[in-house]
Chains A and B, each alone.
Chain A
Amino acid sequence: MAIGETIRNSQIWKSIFRHPMPLDRRNRIVVMLTNFFLHLHPVSIKKQGIALSFTWCMGGVTFFLFLVETVTGVLLMFYYRPTLEWAYNDILALRDVTSLGILRELHRWGAHAMVITTWLHMYRVFLTGSYKPPREFNWVIGVILLLLTLLLSFTGYLLPWDQLAIWAITVGSNMARATPFLGYEGPGQQLLTVGGIDMITDASDARFGLLGARFVGEETLNRFYVLHCIAIPLATALLLAIHFWRVRKDGGISGPL
């Protein structure tokens, strides 16, 4: 193929791909190491690492779902406005009038699946003892990632702004009222009293900081929108990177060390 040959010998092609086709072992390694996306994966892994019966591929599926949520989430942001006036209507519009509005359903199903696969991933890690030293800190990071996944789920739950969402967040955020010291119904709340004035009230406690108001309202919708779309995904992405990096530094994917 003269055309293919010409393209592969062109300056443009060579400036992007520094190495020839990965037809032998050395080039396969070199191509992986010099490609930004491919280098994320180890050049070689243990046989067990690709044994589905051993890993269940639940970590990989969870990460795949995170990518799905990111892509569909960004697309949904083009159609969704986090205001009392429009939030619920935009959700209805996505269902009724927007082409490929099924992306919203994909986002929702993916979110449910991601919570499930995260649990299954942790269950597998627990069963195979993969949390043991030297991987114990990666387990800690994994637990934080689980919390972030649940928080993503929780904050995203409010955004449709229907009755289910409002009351679910009302009920869920009531837990924050009982935060020790920082919740106005929590133990130790009365300790934070200055000059006879309670510093922790229903307008200054942890729940208030979460909702941005005394009860679930427009401020809450806005806060949860920012948390759901910006803050928590960024934190999750950072911890995911550390999580994967440590998998390789702590002896490779699963399997006995």
Chain B
Amino acid sequence: MAEKKKLSVAEILAAARSSDGKGEASAGSPVASASNGAEDSLPAEGAAAKPQAPAKPKSAPAQPATGGARPSVADILAQARAKKAPGEQPAANTAPVAKAAAPAATATAAKPAAKPASKPAVATGGAKTGVQRDTASILAAARAAAKPGPVSKADAPARPAAKPRESVKPVEEKAAPPRTVATLPPKPVKPAKKSADEGEDRRGFMQIALGSAMAMGFTALSVTGGLFTLGLARFLFPNVLAEPPSKFKVGFKDGFPQGKVETKYVAQYGVWVVNGDFQGQQQIYALKTVCTHLGCTPSWLEAEQKFKCPCHGSGFYKDGVNFEGPAPRPLERYAIRTADDGQLEIDKSKAFQEELGQWADPDSYVTV
């Protein structure tokens, strides 16, 4: 199996031909080899046919790419045939049917068609063995001359000797110039790169030096950009606010008789100071003037004894508990205490929510 891979199309063809009852040697006796050849060719054909299949696609794309470096089968055949024409003509006459079919196929349909056409010709060797140079042998010779490329990469090192090429070379002269064109350029280029160690070192140094400089530059740039963005975000949060202080005094207890809702601190501080009942206990507490629905400011309606929000109609009792409208919870309280001088002091930095049980906190009210 390993041998199969290493065989090029040319070798396979050559091998098939030599095993085919020595077609060329016994060219003079077509009938005799016909009986033997038919049976002999079968095993050889079976062995040769398989490697040929994978090899075919390999050589096919190479033709257009190298553009003449490796002539197409049609070209090879045409050239070889033109040279051998005088010697071949009489032979072709002996097997008119097969011969006529093969060139026609190669000329018009190029390689893929030519390959199958040549193989059957070998298999039915009986009719064709009389021909000195049939399609397959021409192919083998021409292909060997036109630099048989390595079948696989693993194969490449084993190939360079390639003596068959030297021996068959004279047969094919037209294919030779393209071959040199194809093989020469790649070889000088690669050694040139590897041999110039100094240049590579210098280039490598420059790549590292410049690359690291670029990396540092972009890193610095992105860090600067990130810091700038952070600074920009910080810039938008002022350190000093033109707002009233969050701690303020509202006077003595006497100013808040029972049942009174003091509304004069609403505009500046957003606070109602109320002397009312909560759960049976009389307290003075500071209610935050923010509706718990969407944040509007309700109004204290003295006649109806309730806080009413103008935005969406939420209503709150005097103690701040919601009873109508969309508000989901009671108003909030601010911290309130009796200061050292006896005045009531409200601290807006602390809020107390009834639904969390925080109104029980003594900081949230002052007993009367």
Contacts and interface: CB of A to CB of B under 8 A. Distances in A.
Interface of A: 167, 170-171, 174, 203-204, 208-209, 212-215, 217-219
Contacts of B238: 212, 219
Nearest to B295: A174
Given A203-B241, A213-B241, A170 B295 contact: yes
Nearest to B296: A167
Contacts of A217: 242-243
Nearest to A216: B295
B311 interface: yes
Nearest to A170: B295
In this complex, the interface size class of chain B, counting residues with CB under 8 Å from chain A, is: 10 to 19
Interface string B219-247: 00000000000000100111001110000
B294 A209 contact: no
B240 to A, nearest CB: 11
17 contacts: A167-B311, A170-B294, A170-B296, A171-B295, A174-B295, A203-B241, A204-B237, A208-B237, A209-B233, A209-B237, A212-B236, A212-B238, A213-B241, A214-B241, A217-B242, A217-B243, A219-B238
B148 to A, nearest CB: 48
Nearest to B348: A214
Nearest to A203: B241
A174 B292 CA distance: 11
Chain A CB within 10 A, most for which of B242, B296, B311: B296
Contacts of B294: 170-171, 174
A174 B295 CA distance: 7
Interface string B261-289: 00000000010000000000000000000
Contacts of B233: 209
Contacts of A218: 242
B289 to A, nearest CB: 11
Contact of B236 (A203, A209, A215): A209
Contacts, number: 29
Given A212-B236, A219-B242, 4 more contacts: A167-B311, A171-B311, A213-B241, A217-B242
A209 B234 CA distance: 9
A214 B290 CA distance: 12
Nearest to A168: B311
Contacts of A174: 294-295
Contacts of B311: 167, 171
Contacts of A167: 296, 311
Interface in B32-78: none
Contacts of B242: 217-219
Contacts of A212: 236, 238
A215 B289 CA distance: 12
A208 B237 CA distance: 8
A205 B243 CA distance: 17
Contacts of B237: 204, 208-209
B314 to A, nearest CB: 12
A215 B270 CA distance: 11
A213 B238 CA distance: 9
B236 A214 contact: no
Contacts of A171: 294-296, 311
Contacts of A204: 237
A148 B243 CA distance: 31
Interface string B295-329: 11000000000000001000000000000000000
A119 B237 CA distance: 34
A204 B238 CA distance: 9
B308 to A, nearest CB: 14
B7 to A, nearest CB: 49
Contacts of A219: 238, 242
Contacts of A170: 294-296
A124 B295 CA distance: 37
B295 A214 contact: no
A184 to B, nearest CB: 11
A213 B233 CA distance: 15
Interface string B241-257: 11100000000000000
Contacts of A215: 270
Interface in B310-355: 311
Contacts of A209: 233, 236-237
